[in-house]
Structure 1
Amino acid sequence: MKLFEGVIGHAPILDMLAADVARPSHAYLFIGPSSVGKATVARRFAAELLCDGDPGCIRRVLGDGHPDLILVEPDGRTVLTVDRARETIARSVLTPVEADRKVFVFEEAGAMNDEAANALLKTLEEPTPTTVFILVAESEDELPATVASRARTVVFGRVADDDIAAALQTRGVDPDQAERAAAASGGRPGIALMLATRPQVAAFRTAWLSVPRRVTSRPGDAFRLADELVSAADPLLEGLAERQADELTRAEAEGRETRSIRERHERERKRAAGALHRGGLEILASWYRDAAAAQFGAPVRNRDIGGAELAGVSPRDAVVMARRVLDTIDTLGVNQRPELAFSALFADLGTPA
Structure 2
Amino acid sequence: MSVWGGLDPGRAVEGLQRQLAQGEISHAWLLSGPSGAGKGAVADAMAAALNCLDQPLRGCSKCSPCRRVLSRAHPDVHRVVPEGSVIAVDAIRDGVVPEATRSPFEGRYKVFVLEQAELMNEAAQSSLLKTLEEPQPDTVFILLSHAEEEILETIRSRCRIVRLEPTSERHLVALLEREGASAETALTAARLSEGDAGAARRLAFDASVGERRSLWLSIPRRLRAATDAIDAASEILDQARAAGAAQKRVQAQETRALADVIGEGRGTGTARNALALRHRREQRHAEEAVLGEALGTLAAFYRDVVAVRRGSSASVANLDRIDELQEWTRSSVSDGALLCAVERLIVARAALLSNANVLLALEAALAEVTRLTQPHEHFSESVW
Normalising by structure 1, report the TM-score. 0.69
Partners of 2:109 and 2:139 within 8 A in 1: yes
Change (3 A) 1:133 1:63: same
Q: In structure 2, list runs of 5 or more residues that go unmatched.
A: 70-74, 264-270, 374-384
Q: 2:350 is matched with which residue?
A: 330
How many residue pairs match? The answer is 334
Give the Å deviation of 1:233. Answer: 4.3
Q: Which residue number corresponds to residue 96 of structure 1?
A: none
2-structure distance, mates of 1:179, 1:40? 23
Identify if the C-alpha distance between structure 1 residues 346 and 120 changes in structure 2 by more than 3 Å, giving closer, same or farther. closer
Distance 1:84 1:116, change over 3 A: farther
In the alignment, what sits opposite 1:16? 15
Contact 1:82 1:119 in 2 (8 A): yes
Quote how far apart the aligned CAs of 1:46 are. 3.8
Q: 280, 305, 326: which one pairs with 1:307?
A: 326
Identity of aligned residues (%): 23
1:243 is matched with which residue: 228, 246, 250?
250
2:239 matches 1:232:
yes
Conserved? CA contact 2:12–2:162, under 8 Å: yes
What is the 5 A alignment of 1:29-178?
Answer: 29-30=30-31, 36-44=40-48, 46-47=50-51, 51=56, 79-82=90-93, 105-108=111-114, 110=117, 114-121=122-129, 124=132, 133-137=140-144, 139-140=146-147, 144-150=151-157, 151-154=159-162
Q: Is the 8 A contact 1:7 1:41 kept in 2?
A: no
Q: What does residue 97 of structure 1 align with? A: none
Displacement of 1:165 in angstroms is 6.7
- In the other structure, the counterpart of 1:202 is 210
AA of the residue aligned to 1:107: V
Matched, 1:343 2:359: no
Q: 1:278 aligns with which of 278, 292, 296?
A: 292
Report deviation, 1:35: 8.6
Q: Is the 8 Å Cα contact of residues 77 and 113 (structure 2) preserved in structure 1?
A: yes
Give the conservation status (yes or no) of the 8 Å contact 1:233–1:273.
yes
Distance 1:85 1:176, change over 3 A: closer
Deviations 1:138-174 (A, max 9, x none): 5547974335532344456765677567656766789
TM-score by length of 2: 0.64
Q: Is the 8 A contact 1:105 1:133 kept in 2?
A: yes
Deviation at 1:347, TM superposition (A): 1.5
Residue type at the aligned position of 1:275: A
- Distance in 2 (CA, whole Å) between partners of 1:176 and 1:242 is 34
Alpha-carbon distance in structure 2 between the residues aligned to 1:128 and 1:259:
23
Aligned to 2:377: none
SS in 1 for 2:371: coil
Cα deviations across residues 196-238 of structure 1 (Å, max 9, x unaligned)?
A: 66534333222222333333463x4422221112223455667
Aligned CA-pair RMSD: 4.8
User: Cα deviation per residue 1:32-59 (whole Å; 9 max; x = unaligned)?
Assistant: 66994254134135448x955598xx97
| Structure 1 residue 26: Cα displacement | 5.9
Q: Is the 8 A contact 1:198 1:236 kept in 2?
A: no
Greater mean alpha carbon deviation, residues 238-247 or residues 299-308: 238-247
Task: Return the alpha-carbon distance in structure 1 between the equivalents of residues 247 and 99 of structure 2.
Answer: 29
Instruction: Extract unaligned runs of 5+ from structure 1.
Output: 93-101
Instruction: Give me the whole-angstrom Cα distance separating, in 2, the residues matched to 1:142 and 1:161.
Output: 28
Instruction: Give the whole-Å Cα distance in 2 for the aligned partners of 1:232 and 1:116.
Output: 32
Measured in 1, the distance between the counterparts of 2:100 and 2:240 equals: 40
Letter matched to residue 304 of structure 2: D
For residues 352 and 165 of structure 2, the distance between their equivalents in structure 1, rounded to whole angstroms, comes to 20
